[in-house]
Chain A
């Protein structure tokens, strides 16, 4: 501090000498020669060089603002090839960075696919992969060739070539499943490649996050920093001084004053204490999905000073996208005044919390920046009204010896009228609609609902692996599963069944089978607590170890299970087979979250269809629920393989 004061005093003293010299030339006994001036200029240029270097090393520092407008992105299955290979049946652990590990993973995957779809035996498949004859793509064949069996497989040198090879090989493996005779309809009912399903609402992203984002209303100061905005202004001063002295040009010399003026301005006004408050209002707190919600943010300057540079970014919920307007504003705010900004967001299912708004206040010259977090806790809850399923739920005939309790939902003999269908030879004469026969000549059979109550437990997969969707902006499979489960739950209850709810992976979320309006209320409430996107911090979603044992213990003996799962984890297969083996009939309704834009995405789709085939082969019906398809259409597809 002291040397600064000395410099100031010295500066003013020199200035005084200059003025004296101006008014009475020659009165001071100090000679100023040309040589001194040249030396002076050289020194000044050296200094100017240092200033430039300083500017280069100290770039501007400013607070970064998050992309609050954009929702977080959904993971697409197959984003990473090694992750797909990891879950591929028959493939051991894959080391993502190691080419040889990925190669051996692909090799094992090729063997699996050849044995399943190509009609090879295991040893034939191994042999065929080892000698490269399994595919018509020579490069792919060469790539997977066993180094022991031949010369091939020299390491592809450059990276892009490597990646191309891996892609081609992946394609070749996927191709095996397509060309093989008798292949499963592995892409049935899914959207064709290149036209990802259009889902209106988006997903998520990081919002403003001071660690203490769970907030009380009020103001939390954040960092204060030098912006380095004016670092480098010294260059102007020094260049003017140096050149001006050398050339004796008064205009250039006086230009130094301009530079000094700005340098002084740069440090003139500090950012004092700032007192801001916000108020956030939303047009509706409980919108339906897809509805727009208008958000109005009012920022009050509660201090008396003018804020000459105020930049505001509202804390839009991570899971919601801004559809119109901007949640940002830059303005000047006088003491006691307020500014508002408004924008609209599109609601989607779930509970969405606003984060604190970020305010950046700069001083007048813009050399210091202060961060402030302003909270006004606001929550949007979007719970769509549940529309019970229009179709009956395809329950299975529980294979128990207790005939009286066995349920079936198929049309047939019964009491309640269900539908009229075409006459099939062999239908009982008592069920022919004779009135219609008399009226129109058509021969039709009346179907009755077989009214026997079932005990069903709906299982929703909300493990981490289920938070995937076909595009980055799509909803997640968990959201699909929850909406399907809600509709199924209400329908099953309306049909007079005992229905319970559980989640795959998390044992605590459990509702024992029951019936009645209060049970219905409890069930939909429980489904409402399932977090729909990964950023949803309201619920701990950690997987319970041995959740399947826990659930097995709780299941009533006659209960059958209806599972909603995207089948992202092959392990699900064994869990479900276990339930089936313990006498609980299992039905799988599987939202299809895979895409086919890249080779590894296609491999992920193939991986899933292998799991579907395995499930069907073990006698578990699987309904493949394509992303945009209504659940009714999926469930009426009676051609489900058993």
Chain B
């Protein structure tokens, strides 16, 4: 058994994934929900081009990496385009992540995950896939905020890990 195999050792990783899911939900509620369908899909000249695509990209990374962490075989990601379907799908992904992180121990955190990427067999550590989700989400939520300012108005809140962790400044 890994000497670090105590639940408390991985509290930081659990908190970071919890923040990621919380921030996804908050961005949806405060920045995306006020948009019209046209604004949601309107093309701009930076980032991934639309809020719809930024959301889909975050969702796809969260979904794909979780499948890899669970050792599930590849499946084709089907992009939900309609907003209510997308929101429901995203919440389901968040629930799956919460379940996975609740059972995570140090042995699994440091274990290898083998999978295929673009037809190539590759291997990453579980913690590398977890951090990948955390940083992809941070990057693309920033993209959503910027596009929302372009197609509608600047959202009136900051993205901040410390706000979440402190609990004092949560919206």
A binds B: no
